[in-house]
Structure 1
Amino acid sequence: MQTYHILWADDEIDLLKPHILFLEKKGYQVTPVNNGHEAVEMCEKNYYDLIFLDENMPGLSGLEALAEIKTLRPNLPVVMITKSEEEHIMEDAIGAKISDYLIKPVNPNQILLSIKKILDKKRLVTEKTNLSYQQDFRNISLAFSETLDFEGWVEIYKKLTFWELEIENTENQSMKTVLEAQKSEANVNFAKFIEQHYQDWLEEDAPPQDAPLLSHQLLQKWVFPRLSEKQEKPLFFILIDNLRYDQWKILEPLLTEYFNVSEEKIYCSILPTTTAFARNAIFAGLLPSDIAEYYPDHWTDDNEEGGKNLYEADFLKFQMEDLGLEKIKSSYHKILKNQQGKELVDKFSHLLANKLNVLVYNFVDMLSHARTDTAFVRELAPDEAAYRSVTKSWFLHSPLWDMLRKIAEQGASLIITTDHGTIRTQRPYKIIGDRNTNTNLRYKQGKNLNYNPKNVFVAKNPDDFFLPKQNLSSTYVFATEDYFFAYPNNYNHYVKYYKDTFQHGGVSMEEMIIPFIELEPKK
C-alpha cells in the first residue's frame, strides 16, 4: 500500500493528537503545524499528498493560506475545516478549488472518509469496477445464447458501452482486453441476428411486431408528431454525422448543465450504414430504392460522379408535403465548416420564427476521415477512448456548443441524433470486383463480386433489401464485425493504410444501434 504524506494546519493542533494517531495507525504520515504561515512554508519545502487546513487561524487565515498554497501547488488537494457555517466562507473555499469541506467538530472516521475519497478514490473505483464487471461478464455472455430481439441487443450494447467507459476511468485498465474480447464476441452474434431478421424488418405491409424503428421512419414516427402550427417554441432537430452511442454518453454530462434528458431512444440504421444511404433515407422518409425510383434526378449511383447528399433539404420538403405538413415553417442547414457554424449562431434569432429547424453537423464524419488520411490525427486518436476525447474537445470549442446554449436560453425543445455510427476496423477481408465496384471499405456493390461468403452479410437480390441496382446482376456485400474489404492488388500497402481506422457502411452494433435523444431546457 502506498504511504501518503498529509500536512495538517490548525491553531489547536495539540487537541487533534488522537485524530493524528488514528491516521498514523492507518498507515498515513501526518505532519502537524499550528498556523497558516508555517503551512505555506512547509509546502514550499516539501511535497504532500493532501492538506487539512483550518479556516479560522490567527495571523494568516485558512483562506489566505489556501490562496498562497494553490499558487505554489495548484494541483495539491486541500480540505478546508471550519467551525463556521457561513455561506460566503463555503463559497470562497469552493471557488478556490478545495477538494472537500468539513464542519467542526470532526471525528476520525470523517477525516478518514475524506482522505479515501480524495487519495484512494482511483484505487477503490478500480477495484469496485473490475469486480462489478466480472460479475456482469457472465450475464452478458449468457445473453448471447438467448433468443434476443433488437431491444435485447440494445441493452447488451448499452451495458458494454457502460463498462467500456467505466473501465476507461480505472487506473491500470486491467479488464480492458477482456471487455474488448467480449465486445467482439457480441458483434459476431449481432451480425448473425441482423442476417436472420433485417430483411423482415423492411416489409412495409406486415413488419414483425418487434421490428425496430428504421432510418426512413424516423422523422414521421418520432419528430413530426411534435409539430403543430400552434406550438409556442421551435423544435431543433440536430443530426451529428457519425455520432456513436459511446460518443453521446461522453457529451451527455456537458448538456445536462443546460438540458434535462427527457428520453433516450434507440433506432436502427439501414444498410449500408453510410451517410449517402442512411441520411437520405431519414430526410426522404423512403428506403434507397424508392428514392432512386421516385426522385431519379436526386439519386447518384455509386459509380457516378457527384455527391449523394446534395438534396437533403429537398427530401425534407418533399416528405413534409407528402404528410400534409407543408404549412409548418421549417429550415434546413448543413454545417460543413466552422465558419458556417459561427454564421448560423449569429443568425440564431431568425431560426426562432420556425416551428422546425433541422441542423446537420458534419464534424465527426470529417474527423473519422481525417484520422484515416492524416498520420497526425491518427496518432492523436489511436483508439476509441482517444477518439471520444477528441470528439468532446471539438464539441466544447465548436459553434454547435454555442448553438445549444442559445437553444437552452430560449427554452426551445431539442433532439440530437445521428444517421449511423462507425467501427474501428482491424481485420482485412479479400474481395475482387470490376472497375465499377464502389470504394467503401465496409460494403461493396457490383456484379461478379468474388469473396469468401464467411463473415459477410450478402444481399444477392438488392430488391429484397430496397437497394438500388446499377445493373440486373448487382449484389451488395456488407462487412461484419471489425473486417474491412481489401483488394488483392497492392494488398499489404492497402491493409497497412486502412487497418485501425474508423469506417462505416457495414454490420456492427457501433454502426447500426443509433442514439435519438430528446432534451428539454432547464430554464
Structure 2
Amino acid sequence: MYRLAVYRSIHNMQAEILWVDDEIESLKSQILFLKNKGYEVSPFTNGYDVLEHLKTNQADVVLLDESMPGMTGLETLSKIKELYPTLPVVMVTKNEAENIMEEAIGAQITDYLIKPVNPNQVLLSLKKIIDSRRLVSEKTTVEYQKDFRNLFMALNNNPNVEEWEELYKKLVYWEVEMSKSDSPEMQEVFNTQKAEANTEFFKFVSRNYIDWIKEKNEDTPVMSHTLFPKKIAPHIKKGKPTFMVLIDNLRYDQWKAIEPIVSQSFRTVEEDMFYGILPTSTQYSRNAIFSGMLPVEIERRYPLEWKNDDEQGGKNLYEKQFLGDQLKRLNLGNIKWDYLKITNNDDGKTMEDNIHNYLKNDLTVIVYNFVDMLSHARTEMEVLKELAGDEVSYRSLTVSWFEHSPLYRALKKIADKDIQLIVTTDHGTMRVKTPSKCIGDKATTTNLRYKHGRNIQYEDKDVFAITTPHEAGLPQPNVNSKYIFAKGDVFLCYPNNYNYYVNYYRNTFQHGGVSLEEVIVPIIRMTSR
C-alpha cells in the first residue's frame, strides 16, 4: 500500500488521506486546506468506520486522533498495523504523556502531531511521508548532474593512487544515493560512468602493478602485504585491547551500509583504503596480510604450508602461524594475542559467548568468513540469486546478516570497554556481466575472474596478463606458468558448455580480477564511544 503512495507522488496523482477524529467537524478548515493542496481527504469519526473503509479501499496515509471514545487511537493504530503493516499512520494527540508517545512510537507510527494542529504542520508531515522519495530523487539527480562533470574530468586527468581512492569513494556515495532515487535514466548514466571508471582503473593497474610490487614507484599504495606493518601494527599497544575484525570479501559499499550500525557503539577515528594484491582472492590476499609477505615469498619461506592453485589441501590453514611470525619480525612478539577464524554460525556463537575473555589480550584477530560464504553460495543457491541479484540487494543482505550476527552481538558486549576496533577485509567482489572465452589445459584454475596455468588462450582486450609471475610477487610452479586477470565486469568461461555457464554465472558476485570493487578496499580504525 505504501508503494501506492510513492507511485502517486511520482505521477502527480491525488494522494488518499484518511483523517480519523471524533471531533472531525472542527477540522473542516484544515481538511479544506489539504484539498486545495491537491490531497483527497476522507473524514471519519471513529476507528471502527476507518477499519471498515480500509477493507475495500486503499489509502496513502491515516491521520489518527489518539484520544477517542470507544475504540481509542492506540487501539485503532494496533488494528491498522496488524492488518496493513506498511500503511503510514500519523498520530494526532493533545496528550504529551511520555508513556502514550512511547506506546505509539513502539507501534510504529510514522509521525505525530500535537493538538491544536496547524494546517502547515499537517502538510509538512504529509509531504515528508508521501513526497519524500520524489524530493530525494529530484535532489539526488540535480546534485549528481552537478558532480558528473567533475567526475568525468577527474577520470581523464590520469589519477594517482590516492586520487583513485577518492574517486571510488565518490562513486560509491553516488551509487548509494542513486539507489534511494527513482530515476532509471540517471541510474543508467551513472552505471555508464562507473563502467568507464573501471575501464580506466584497469589500465591504471595494468600500467603500474609490477612497479608497485617492486616498490620502484614512489606512488606505491599500501597493499595486502604491507597493510599490517603500515596500518595496524603502529596502533597496537600493550595493555590496550585491540580487536582486528577481518570480514572476508567486504566491499567498500558494504562497509558504508553497515557503518551506521557499528557507529552506534563505536566512534570512527580513521577511515582509510588499501589495494588488494592480485589475484584479489582469499588464498593470495589474506595470506599476504597475515604473513606480511607476497605469495612468492610465502612459498619460499613456508614451502610446506603454501599451496598453489593446482595443489590439493586448504589454502588458508596457516594464517595464525604467519601472523605470529610477522608479529615477531615487527618486534611485537611480547604482546598477548589470539586468532579466531569464524566459518559457521556455531563458531560465531562460541566467539560471542567468550568475547569478554579476549579483553585480556593486547590483540585479538577475528576472521569472519560470512560474506565470502554468501558470495560463493550466491552462485550455488537459487534463493540467494534472488536475494542478491544486484548491488542494492547485496548491500541489503549484508546489513541484514550483520544486524543479526554473533559478530555484532559480540562487539556490542565489549563496546563499553576501553577498546580499539579495526575493521577490514582482504578483497572485494564484482558483479560479472560480460563473458569472455578462455582456453586452458586441465591444470588451469577454474576461477571466473583469474586464471593460472601454462597454455592459456584468451582475449587480450579482456585481461591483464602477467607472463613473469615472480615479478608480480606470485609463485611460478612451471616455467611457462602465467596469470591472467579479468577486467571490469568480465568473467572467463571455457568453450565447453559455454552458453550454460554464461547464463549460470552472469550477474553473480565473483572475485580475483581487476576492478575498483575488488582492489580498493577499506580499513577502519574505531574506538569505544
Contact residue 413 and residue 520 of structure 1 kept, 8 A:
yes
> 1:426 is matched with which residue?
433
Task: Compute the displacement of 1:68 (Å).
Answer: 4.2
Contact residue 356 and residue 414 of structure 2 kept, 8 A:
no
Counterpart mapping for 1:444-463 below 5 A: 444-463=451-470
> 2:6 is matched with which residue?
none
> 1:224 is matched with which residue?
233
CA distance in 2 between counterparts of 1:460 and 1:40 reads: 72
Contact residue 334 and residue 359 of structure 1 kept, 8 A:
yes
Letter of the aligned partner of 1:237 in structure 2? M
Distance 1:40 1:461, change over 3 A: closer
Distance 1:446 1:162, change over 3 A: same
CA distance in 1 between counterparts of 2:290 and 2:59 reads: 59
CA distance in 2 between counterparts of 1:455 and 1:138 reads: 27
CA distance in 2 between counterparts of 1:7 and 1:495 reads: 51
Counterpart mapping for 1:210-289 below 5 A: 210-231=219-240, 234-289=241-296
CA distance in 2 between counterparts of 1:436 and 1:59 reads: 78
1:113 aligns with 2:120: no
CA distance in 1 between counterparts of 2:242 and 2:283 reads: 25
> 2:449 is matched with which residue?
442
Counterpart mapping for 1:353-502 below 5 A: 353-502=360-509
In structure 2, the residue corresponding to 1:30 is in which secondary structure? strand
CA distance in 1 between counterparts of 2:52 and 2:445 reads: 69
CA distance in 1 between counterparts of 2:294 and 2:246 reads: 19
CA distance in 2 between counterparts of 1:394 and 1:63 reads: 33
Counterpart mapping for 1:16-165 below 5 A: 16-34=27-45, 42=53, 46-57=57-68, 60-165=71-176
CA distance in 1 between counterparts of 2:232 and 2:28 reads: 65
CA distance in 2 between counterparts of 1:375 and 1:37 reads: 44
Task: Compute the displacement of 1:114 (Å).
Answer: 0.5
1:166 aligns with 2:185: no
Task: Compute the displacement of 1:35 (Å).
Answer: 5.2
| 1:410-455 deviations in Å (ceiling 9; x for gaps) | 4432111110011111222223333332222222223343333223
Letter of the aligned partner of 1:213 in structure 2? V
Contact residue 239 and residue 362 of structure 2 kept, 8 A:
no
| 1:67-109 deviations in Å (ceiling 9; x for gaps) | 4444454333222223444433332322222111222343222
CA distance in 1 between counterparts of 2:491 and 2:59 reads: 51
> 2:4 is matched with which residue?
none
Contact residue 421 and residue 504 of structure 1 kept, 8 A:
yes
> 1:505 is matched with which residue?
512
> 1:337 is matched with which residue?
344
CA distance in 2 between counterparts of 1:459 and 1:443 reads: 11
Letter of the aligned partner of 1:147 in structure 2? N
Distance 1:41 1:162, change over 3 A: same
Contact residue 51 and residue 77 of structure 1 kept, 8 A:
yes
| 1:143-174 deviations in Å (ceiling 9; x for gaps) | 22112112222222222222222222334644
> 1:519 is matched with which residue?
526
Distance 1:485 1:74, change over 3 A: closer
Higher mean C-alpha displacement, 381-390 vs 349-358: 381-390
Letter of the aligned partner of 2:196 in structure 1? E
In structure 2, the residue corresponding to 1:332 is in which secondary structure? strand
Q: Percent identity?
A: 52
Contact residue 44 and residue 72 of structure 1 kept, 8 A:
no
Contact residue 11 and residue 35 of structure 1 kept, 8 A:
yes
CA distance in 2 between counterparts of 1:440 and 1:154 reads: 26
The unaligned stretches of length 5 or more in structure 1 are: none
Distance 1:512 1:88, change over 3 A: same
In structure 1, the residue corresponding to 2:360 is in which secondary structure? coil
Task: Compute the displacement of 1:243 (Å).
Answer: 0.9
Letter of the aligned partner of 2:421 in structure 1? L
Distance 1:237 1:139, change over 3 A: same
The unaligned stretches of length 5 or more in structure 2 are: 1-11
Higher mean C-alpha displacement, 181-190 vs 344-353: 344-353
The two structures, once aligned, show a CA RMSD in angstroms of 2.3
In structure 1, the residue corresponding to 2:379 is in which secondary structure? helix
Letter of the aligned partner of 1:330 in structure 2? W
Higher mean C-alpha displacement, 277-286 vs 49-58: 49-58
In structure 1, the residue corresponding to 2:103 is in which secondary structure? helix
| 1:125-145 deviations in Å (ceiling 9; x for gaps) | 222223332332232222221
Distance 1:488 1:38, change over 3 A: closer
Higher mean C-alpha displacement, 341-350 vs 412-421: 341-350
Higher mean C-alpha displacement, 445-454 vs 109-118: 445-454
> 2:5 is matched with which residue?
none
Distance 1:423 1:83, change over 3 A: same
Contact residue 43 and residue 72 of structure 1 kept, 8 A:
no
When normalised by structure 2's length, the TM-score is 0.91
Contact residue 214 and residue 471 of structure 2 kept, 8 A:
no
Letter of the aligned partner of 1:55 in structure 2? E
> 1:347 is matched with which residue?
354
Task: Compute the displacement of 1:11 (Å).
Answer: 4.6
Contact residue 221 and residue 275 of structure 2 kept, 8 A:
yes
In structure 2, the residue corresponding to 1:434 is in which secondary structure? coil
Higher mean C-alpha displacement, 345-354 vs 330-339: 345-354
Contact residue 236 and residue 362 of structure 2 kept, 8 A:
yes
1:181 aligns with 2:188: no
Task: Compute the displacement of 1:324 (Å).
Answer: 1.3
Aligned partner of 1:319 among 326, 338, 343? 326
Contact residue 224 and residue 276 of structure 2 kept, 8 A:
yes
Letter of the aligned partner of 2:308 in structure 1? D
In structure 2, the residue corresponding to 1:458 is in which secondary structure? strand
Task: Compute the displacement of 1:340 (Å).
Answer: 1.3
CA distance in 1 between counterparts of 2:266 and 2:493 reads: 44
How many residue pairs were aligned? 518
Task: Compute the displacement of 1:60 (Å).
Answer: 5.0
CA distance in 2 between counterparts of 1:85 and 1:283 reads: 57
CA distance in 1 between counterparts of 2:121 and 2:371 reads: 45
CA distance in 2 between counterparts of 1:307 and 1:238 reads: 22
Letter of the aligned partner of 1:267 in structure 2? F
Distance 1:8 1:494, change over 3 A: closer
Distance 1:142 1:73, change over 3 A: same
CA distance in 2 between counterparts of 1:177 and 1:411 reads: 46
> 1:308 is matched with which residue?
315
